[in-house]
Amino acid sequence: MKLQSRSPETPRTEERAAAAALELASVSYNYGQRKALDDVSFAIEPSRFTVLLGLNGAGKTTLFSLVSHLFSPRTGRIRVFGQDIDRNSGQALRRLGIVFQARTLDLDLTVRQNLLYHAALHGIGTRVARQRIDELLHSIDLSDRIEEKVRGLSGGQVRRVEIIRALLHRPSLLLLDEATVGLDIKSRATILKDIRALVERDGISVLWATHLIDEIGQADQVLVLDKGKLVADGPVATILSNTGTETINQAFSKLTGITDMNVRGGRP
Amino acid sequence: MTDATDVAGLPREKWTGFTTSQYIVCLKGILVREWLRYLSQKERFVSSLVRPLLWLFIFAAGFRQVLGVSIIPPYETYVLYEVYITPGLCGMILLFSGMQSSLSMVYDREMGNMRILLVSPFPRWYLLVSKLLAGVGVSLLQVYAFLAIAWFWDVKAPVAGYVMILPALFLAGLMLGALGMLLSSLVKQLENFAGIMNFVIFPMYFASSALYPLWRVQESSPLLYKICLLNPFTYAVELIRFAFYARIEWTSLVVVMAVTLALLGAAILAYNPARGLTVRKQDMGGSQ
């Protein structure tokens, strides 16, 4: 599968270099008395593959909900390519493609109907949308399933359709929240490879949230979230150097205080 | 289209907002999706018709001799009880449909589909109003199907009434849909919604002029009469009743419009990420 967010001949633009793809400044969020995010600040440079690593409950999904404007932060600012998510939510959201942790396709509609719905929610007319849908589905070898109800697809196929849905409106920043949860090893590897290719080929910025250490792979930048706090931010080499460890498993263990890690499975 | 341009071919940095045609595309997409979901749930259409028809065929027939309806506006002669309760049954369809739409919003929220709507770059108020319009569109179809069957049961109105009733149904549908939308923002889980429906639908329906004229209610219970007067559903039913006979009941029109605006405003506020009630919930965020 070769995902394409835009035509291959399209050159990368310098426009993105003007502002960070995503910037969080002192963002905090509470659920009642419980702090889900505590003074989180970081920036993601354009055209980078960034992994947000954290245990379940570390605050990754809350962070995604804030970036995608489902919630507003109690304090702090979030900017997408320089656009404040609260003040210019339309400007910011149109640059975002989002794959949520939970499956968000309508099971009773066909693949095409789901994708057309998403296109409409971004103001893309049917004619353009159909063309893009055909191209994208072809790129993931799912053209023959286009008129099939989502209910009939496998977990991996559903996830791939969700990813191309997130690319339909040609976003500049793609957010993926635990995109490989529930998938077999082959599907996971394929999706990771394709997302990485999107960054390399099309210059899309990616924020990939996961609790699986082995998905860090060739990440340009790693963010480690622990109990709502950002405890590490940088390339793998920098994190290893700062923690005085040799492997990312050891670094993660040191940063989060988790001593019993299933290293083989890569699960903290 | 290059990376520096958006879907409409405009430079990303010079983007000043969606065009009118893009707003229409968005609305159309939401309407089509609601319609497709409705078509995929054929039992929903059947049950939406069975309920009022049972009332019309059985309840009304049984009570025809018990409940006498005197000549009250808009009726110019004695009418059968079936004729009297038909506008109320239209209201019942809209009420159930409004609640059904909000139920599907709670379901969508739990299933995650609602997030896809809410992360659209269009203004949130516009998305919610579009969603509301989509629900009302479906319910109007149900009402007309019901009226067509009722016509064969000798419940007939002037031809103009079938046209005049459309804006009345639309307005009443908006009001009840907005109520459902507000409720959906307050309900945390799907399971809790059934209780809310029982506490909303039945009191609203029975404490109104849907089944009996208000003068009769006043005779038997002044307190209930006052409750009926405070119930916006009463005004929705009266608006429909008068429109069915090609007349406008101005008080009902004003009340329904005012309540619709208030409920819709509250629902939009409730779905506002900064001030809304949904920010207190964790379920929209899934796991933390």
Cβ–Cβ gap B21/A125 under 8 Å = yes
Same domain, A252 and A213: yes
Cβ–Cβ gap B122/A90 under 8 Å = yes
- The whole-angstrom distance between B46's CA and the closest CA on chain A is 18
Same domain, A254 and A160: no
Is A203 within a domain? yes
Cβ–Cβ gap A59/B111 under 8 Å = no
Over residues A4-12, mean pLDDT: 45
Is A135 within a domain? yes
Same domain, A70 and A117: no
Same domain, A262 and A189: yes
Chain A hits for B111, Cβ within 8 Å: 102-104
Same domain, A166 and A181: no
Q: Quote the CA–CA distance of B203 and B183 in Å, as a whole number.
A: 15
Helices vs. strands in chain B: H and E counts, helices first: 12, 0
- How much is the pLDDT for B233? 96
Q: Does B18 lie at the interface with A, CB-CB under 8 angstroms?
A: yes
Burial class (CB in 10 A: 0-12, 13-18, 19+), A266: middle
Q: Quote the CA–CA distance of B286 and A102 in Å, as a whole number.
A: 8
Query: Which of A130, A151, A170 is a domain's end point?
Result: A170
Please, which pLDDT band fits residue A1 given cuts at 50, 70 and 90? low
- How much is the pLDDT for B15? 73
The torsion defined by the Cα of B99, B105, B109 and B112, in degrees rounded to 10, comes to 140
**Helix H or strand E segment including A176:** strand A173-177
Same domain, A247 and A178: yes
Roughly what angle, to the nearest 10 degrees, separates helices B250-270 and B232-244?
130
Q: Which of B181, B112, B138, B33 is nearest to A120 (CA)?
A: B33
- How much is the pLDDT for B276? 47
Same domain, A192 and A267: yes
Task: Kindly identify which residue of chain A lies nearest to residue B20, measuring between CA atoms.
Answer: A123
- Residue A87 has φ and ψ, to the nearest 5°, of -80, -40
What is chain A's mean pLDDT, rounded? Answer: 86
Q: Quote the CA–CA distance of A230 and A58 in Å, as a whole number.
A: 10
Same domain, A185 and A90: yes
- Measured between CB atoms, which of B12, B18, B119 is closest to A68? B119
- How much is the pLDDT for B274? 61
Q: Quote the CA–CA distance of B254 and B232 in Å, as a whole number.
A: 11
Burial class (CB in 10 A: 0-12, 13-18, 19+), A212: middle
- Measured between CB atoms, which of A59, A92, A118 is closest to B116? A118
Burial class (CB in 10 A: 0-12, 13-18, 19+), A163: buried
User: Number of structural domains, chain A?
Assistant: 2
Q: Does B7 lie at the interface with A, CB-CB under 8 angstroms?
A: yes
Same domain, A184 and A164: no
Q: Which of residues 237-266 of B touch A (CB under 8 A)?
A: none
**Residue span of the structural domain in which A126 resides:** 105-170
Query: Which of A125, A140, A170 is a domain's end point?
Result: A170
- How much is the pLDDT for B65? 67
- How much is the pLDDT for B126? 95
Per the CB < 8 A criterion, the answer to whether A146 and A111 are in contact is yes
Going edge to edge, which strands form the sheet with A83-84? Answer: A34-44, A22-31, A75-80, A83-84
Which of A76-90, A249-263, B246-260 is predicted with the least confidence, judged by mean pLDDT? Answer: A249-263
Interface test with A, best of B15, B119, B269 (most A CBs within 10 A): B119
SS3 (DSSP) at A227? coil
Is A4 within a domain? no
Same domain, A83 and A110: no
Same domain, A126 and A198: no
pLDDT digits (tens, 9 = 90+) for A157-216: 898 899 999 999 999 999 999 888 877 888 888 888 888 888 888 889 999 999 888 888
Query: Which of A170, A187, A214 is a domain's end point?
Result: A170
Greatest alpha-carbon span in chain B: 74
pLDDT digits (tens, 9 = 90+) for A96-143: 999 988 888 988 899 999 999 999 999 999 999 999 999 988 888 888
> Does A92 or B273 have the greater pLDDT score?
A92
- The whole-angstrom distance between A131's CA and the closest CA on chain B is 12
> What ipTM did this prediction achieve?
0.84
Please, which pLDDT band fits residue A225 given cuts at 50, 70 and 90? very high
Q: Does B123 lie at the interface with A, CB-CB under 8 angstroms?
A: yes
Same domain, A180 and A165: no
Cβ–Cβ gap B41/A108 under 8 Å = yes
Per the CB < 8 A criterion, the answer to whether B243 and B161 are in contact is yes
Is A6 within a domain? no
Chain A hits for B36, Cβ within 8 Å: 109, 113
Chain B hits for A71, Cβ within 8 Å: 273, 278-279, 284-285
Is A261 within a domain? yes
- Write the CB contacts of B240 (distance below 8 Å, at least 6 apart in sequence): B87, B90, B91, B165, B168, B169, B172
The CATH number covering residue A208 comes to 3.40.50.300
SS3 (DSSP) at A27? strand
Please, which pLDDT band fits residue A235 given cuts at 50, 70 and 90? very high
Q: In the structure encoding, which two tokens stand for residue A191, read together?
A: 């999706």
Mean pLDDT by 10 residues, chain B (288 residues): 45 73 96 89 80 85 68 75 90 89 75 83 93 92 93 86 94 93 77 72 89 84 92 96 92 96 92 57 44
- Write the CB contacts of B97 (distance below 8 Å, at least 6 apart in sequence): B48, B135, B136, B138, B139, B142, B173, B176, B177
What separation in angstroms does the CA of A146 have from each of A108, A120, A195? 13, 17, 22
